[in-house]
Amino acid sequence: MKIAVCVKEVPDTTAEKRIDPSTNRLVRDEGDRMLNEFDKYAVEEAVRLKEAGTADEVILVSLGPEKAVESLRQGLAMGADRLVLVSDASAAGSDYVGTARALAKAIEETGAELVLLGSESTDARSGVLTATLGEVSGRTWVTSANSLAVNGGSITVERQSDDGIDTVEAPLPAVVSVTKAINEPRYPSLKGIMGAKKKPQDVKSLGDIGLGAGDVGEAGAKTKVVGIETPPARTAGQVVKDEGNGAQVIFDYLVEKKLI
């Protein structure tokens, strides 16, 4: 069995972010970039499944600029076998539908039965790509997996829900997002880092995977950011010295702010 892991290059989480006012999009070509932190858990789980003999190959799949190879190589250093990066100028401005279309096509070419993702990306934090990818690719999809087991042609997932832990069984092929509770990602060894540079790293255009410019990017987007506003600055808090009337002061404040 082959496992595909969807990974993403994101801006350094500690660096200041900037939005381009002309496009309303995050500026991605400034500062340091890195492998999305949440994706490391998906890579680790895939590598563990391979080490256990459940999978034969772990393939990283991504959509982004060609230079993203440098950041995504960390996943290869962790133990993934190869990388497939879809990089095309026409993909700029892709929303989740366009991203899912590109990833689905690239994954289809790998022949992977199981697709793993991190729970979200640090630059967007929407957590909707798993469902979108599942729908676009016609695969079963499960989110928020705390544990994952492969049983022949199906998977068993324990996932976090509002009511506790749910156990879900689903047939392969499937798309699954994992949480931080599933494992502890390994630190790549020096041998792994050096070996990652020699592993296959294929960069494909949209045409290579059978997509046109209208399928992704702004042309294929189903959503659009129409405006961005800076949140209002926080005002100083009010300190109440309780002289026996503290409860009344708080009540009056809440009434004044129309909170009760």
Domain assignments of the chain as residue spans, ordered by start: 2-220
Quote the tokens at residue 200.
Answer: 């296959």
Please list the pLDDT of the chain residue by residue as tens digits (260 residues): 999 999 999 998 887 778 888 888 887 777 788 999 999 999 999 999 999 999 999 999 999 999 999 999 999 999 999 999 999 999 988 999 999 999 999 999 999 999 999 999 998 878 899 999 999 999 999 999 999 999 989 999 999 888 889 999 999 999 999 999 999 999 999 999 999 999 999 999 999 999 998 999 988 888 888 888 888 888 888 788 888 888 898 899 899 988 88
- 209, 149 Cβ separation under 8 angstroms: no
- 43, 75 Cβ separation under 8 angstroms: yes
- Predicted pLDDT at 192: 96
Quote the tokens at residue 100.
Answer: 């899912």
Quote the tokens at residue 216.
Answer: 């992704």
- Predicted pLDDT at 211: 95
Query: Which residues share a beta bridge with 35?
Result: 9
- Predicted pLDDT at 218: 87
Cα 183–chain centre separation: 16
- Predicted pLDDT at 179: 95
Interior CA angle at 75 toward 148 and 205, to 5°?
105
- Predicted pLDDT at 41: 98
Quote the tokens at residue 14.
Answer: 């500690």
| CATH code that applies to domain 2-220 | 3.40.50.620
- Predicted pLDDT at 239: 83
Neighbours of 232 (CB within 10 A): 6
- 77, 96 Cβ separation under 8 angstroms: no
Q: How far is CA 47 from CA 2, 56, 57, 59, 120, in A?
A: 11, 10, 9, 10, 19
H/E segment holding residue 180:
none
